[in-house]
Amino acid sequence: MAVMTYAEAAVLAVAHEMEADANVVVLGEDVGRGGIFGQYKGLQARFGTDRVVDTPISEAAILGAGVGMALAGLRPVVEMRVVDFALCAMDEIANQAAKNRFMFGGQGRVPMVVRMPIGIWDASAAQHSQSLESWFAHLPGVVVVCPATPQDNYSLLRAALASGDPVVYMEHKTLWGVSGEVDPASTAKLGEARLVRPGRDVTIVSWSKQVQACEQACDELAAHGIAAELVAAGFGAEIAATVAETVGCKVRRLGAPRIPVGYASVLEAQSRVTAPDIAAAARGLLA
């Protein structure tokens, strides 16, 4: 086990896959200098400019090239810098990568990982702070991954590269500097939830950075004698509907308000779901 940051874990995962398979390549803006968050640090110096490729500023061109590379037998890692910019390449994602395997009966595969950092980035306002994982979760043909810890980022990134399908890989922008233990021998399975902590009274389901807020909420609930189970996975509305239909339990959905993220700190704060918000919602269910 080694202690490393979320960003360092990503670098290690990509490096391992590039060492193991010469078909793994990286392309995107600023990847040569390590990426804007350090998530490719040292990779171009190690593997060369033919495998870590700096591109022009055109998301459609970058993703289109990635789709073509994947169809030709490569395994590209495509960098979008932030998820907001990926909207300039939605045709390549939704109409090309996502549909290829289905439309051609499996003759074509798009083993591509598209990294789209998500989440509120302090003072970055509405066009740099979105979390659009639910959009992509409703897109047939792509896999959506939202790692919450450095270990997640290492294991899930390697699993994403090995999956053989297009993966929308969403790392939260404020997790890059978070440190934690990483076991390089630990593997992850796409589509399988992680039980963060057990509990008997209420179950909280979340993903990405919000797992941290949920852990804090679980501690707050424990102080009031409530044992909360925390599962890192899923998308709220679908989980709530499935649970309610299956077992008939009470459900309380809690998400960010339907507003753009503001620039001013007081407006930005309105877009956050805090640990006290989560704990209050859980207590309301048990009242």
For the chain, the maximum distance between any two Cα atoms, rounded to a whole number of angstroms, is 60
**Which amino acid is it at 67?**
V
Q: Does residue 255 contact residue 195 with C-beta atoms inside 8 Å?
A: no
Residues forming a β-bridge with 168: 114, 144
Residue 128 annotated among the catalytic residues of the structure: yes
- The Cα–Cα gap between 200 and 209 comes to 24
**Which amino acid is it at 148?**
A
In 3-state terms the chain splits into helix, strand, coil percentages (rounded to 5) of 40, 15, 45
Q: Does residue 175 contact residue 6 with C-beta atoms inside 8 Å?
A: yes
Neighbour tally for 120: CB within 10 Å: 21
Radius of gyration of the CA atoms of the chain, in A: 19
Alpha-carbon distances of 123 from 44, 237, 245, 261, rounded to whole Å: 30, 29, 40, 9
DSSP structure class, residue 38: S
β-sheet with 194-197: strand ranges across: 194-197, 228-232, 202-206
- Which one of the listed residues 128, 138, 172, 224 is annotated catalytic? 128
Neighbour tally for 101: CB within 10 Å: 17
Show which residues are catalytic. 128
